[in-house]
Amino acid sequence: MDTIIQKRKLGKSNLEVSAIGLGCMGMSFSYGTLPDKKEMISLLHKAIERGVTFFDTAEVYGPFTNEELLGEALAPFRNKIVIATKFGFDTTQGVSALNSRPEHIREVAEASLKRLKIECIDLFYQHRVDPIIPIEDVAGTVKELIKEGKVKHFGLSEAGVQTIRRAHAVQPVSALQSEYSLWWREPEAEIIPTLEELGIGFVPYSPLGKGFLTGKINENTTFEKTDFRNSVPRLSVENRKINQVFVDLLTTVAQRKNATPAQIALAWLLAQKPWIVPIPGTTKLSRLDENLGALALELTSDDLNEINKAASELKVQGDRYSEGATKLINR
């Protein structure tokens, strides 16, 4: 039985998706022991039953295995859903080697189409800005792929304001995917006003602070050795202790609203702009249902003022990425 959940349009692009999408990275990558593939296919199917139509992946997740998973799981539902994937890394050179050369973008597009078992990529993001390749060349290449019918929409990820403007002038950008949550509000200063001006949708990743804002992680939590959160400064044991105040704030509001901290964090994001579509990731059905429950929550202007006032008095401890990863952001 398919459920109908609210839809949102990403800016002026006419790209309509479920108001909450599903980040699929953790199904194949990054968070310690990998979940069972059959279970993940089942979870993807259950997400569709629940009305989710927006699925986020990238060639570098795995690499390749996450796209293959989505290709296998989502093939029967192709006409109902929107799949976003990404280019911009050189998988032959290790995870952080950038490559947005036009010929490489084309190679990635062809390979992603095959792995995803689709004829056309709905939303094709540049995963990180490549300082060597002019963004006009990147946008121009995606523009050609759109003309050829291989891509429908162009996106950017973690790009700065000038990069967004320059890209948008060559090929309209449908969506920007960057980190945004109650404890990472930097996009509010310049990014969100620019997106509003240009009519670009915003897709926040890590809307739950890599799990921290759910309230299920505290100073005593131990991450598996292969979990990338071990390298995130703001998730170090001492910083988790200090940052607990954000979870306490969400918990206070959640108790009053008969909700969970995660639902308040997502409802807060959804209330910021009607063209914001967060993509919390999960490998558990209970979490998927919890996240989608945020859509039924109505935060009043009083609730939002209370959250904003309290949050403005809190200071987050620790950077959101390790130094090496930070170099790849906001060019």
* Per-residue model confidence (pLDDT) at position 4: 73
The residue type at 229: R
To the nearest whole number, what is the mean pLDDT of the chain? Answer: 94
SS3 71: helix
Q: What does the pLDDT read at residue 33?
A: 83
Give the residue-averaged pLDDT of 72-86: 97
**For position 93, what pLDDT does the model report?**
81
Domain that holds residue 72: 7-211+260-297
Measured CA to CA, the distance from residue 281 to residue 177 in angstroms comes to: 14
Q: Is residue 314 part of a domain?
A: no
Candidates 166, 160, 89, 77; CA nearest to 116 is 77
Task: Indicate the pTM of the whole model.
Answer: 0.96
Q: Residue 255: what pLDDT?
A: 98
Domain membership of residue 203 (yes or no) is yes
CA atoms within 13 A on the CB side of 244: 11
**Domain membership flag for residue 137:** yes
Higher pLDDT, 3 or 154: 154
Residue 27 lies in a domain: yes
Q: Residue 63, Cβ neighbours under 10 Å: how many?
A: 15
Q: What is the pLDDT of residue 329?
A: 63
pLDDT at 1 over 50: no
Residue 143, in any domain of the structure: yes
Tell me the three state secondary structure of residue 58: coil
Burial 165-180 (b: 16+ CB within 10 A, else e): eebbebbbbbbbbbbb
- 329: in domain: no
User: How many Cα atoms are found within 13 Å in the side-chain-facing hemisphere of 253?
Assistant: 30
Average pLDDT on 301-327 reads 87
Whether 30 is covered by a domain: the verdict is: yes
In terms of Cβ atoms closer than 10 Å to its own Cβ (0-12, 13-18, 19+), residue 124 is buried
* Residue labelled with tokens 């062809």: 110
pLDDT tens digits, residue range 247-295? Answer: 999 999 999 999 999 999 999 999 999 999 999 999 999 999 999 999 9
Reported confidence tier of residue 325, pLDDT bands at 50, 70, 90? low
CATH of the domain at 265: 3.20.20.100
The sign of the CA dihedral 206, 212, 217, 221 is positive
Helices assigned H by DSSP within 171-236: 191-198
Each residue's pLDDT tens digit, 126-138: 999 999 999 999 9
pLDDT tens-place string over residues 3-38: 679 999 999 999 999 999 999 999 998 877 899 999
Q: Quick check: is 61 catalytic?
A: yes
94 falls within a domain? yes
Q: How far apart are CA 205 and CA 189, in angstroms?
A: 18
Element (H, E) at 18: strand 16-18
Count up the domains in the chain and report the number.
Answer: 1
Question: What is the DSSP code (8-state) at residue 184?
Answer: B
Residue among 61, 125, 180, 205 flagged as catalytic: 61
pLDDT of residue 96: 75
Long-range contacts of 70-79 (CB under 8 A, 24+ apart): 70/24, 70/44, 70/116, 71/115, 71/116, 71/117, 71/118, 72/41, 72/117, 73/40, 73/41, 73/44, 73/45, 74/44, 74/48, 74/116, 75/117, 77/48, 78/118
